[in-house]
Amino acid sequence: MEDEPFKIGLSKKDGQLGFVFNRGGPREGAGRKGIGITKKVSLTLTKDIWEEVDRECGDLEISRSSFLRHVIESYYAANKKDR
């Protein structure tokens, strides 16, 4: 298989370097759409709670992030009337 030539290009959005091959490559607007703002947090829970979270995530086949997002969103949806 012959190596494909490539070009190095700059992203229009953030100025990061990207590799552009003859076919395919990054396109404006391509990829998974974001659902919000990402913020990294550290959360301390007991070992038992983490085991429950991991068990629930496994049963639902979702990530911890998705599980915790659902818990938080559910809390605020249920408590909107109290505001």
Domain ranges, residue 78:
6-25+37-82
Judged against a pLDDT cut of 90, whether residue 70 lies above it is answered with yes
Domain membership flag for residue 48:
yes
If you average pLDDT over every residue of the chain, what do you get?
A: 81
Domain membership flag for residue 30:
no
pLDDT of residue 17: 58
Domain membership flag for residue 59:
yes
Q: Which residue intervals of 1-83 are DSSP H helices?
A: 47-60, 64-78
Domain membership flag for residue 13:
yes
- Better-predicted residue by pLDDT, 74 or 27: 74
Domain membership flag for residue 66:
yes
Total number of domains constituting the chain? 1
Q: 56: closest CA among 68, 73, 40?
A: 68
DSSP single-letter state for residue 31: S
- C-alpha–C-alpha distance, residues 49 and 59, integer Å: 15
- C-alpha–C-alpha distance, residues 66 and 30, integer Å: 22
φ/ψ of 19, rounded to 5, equals: -100, 130
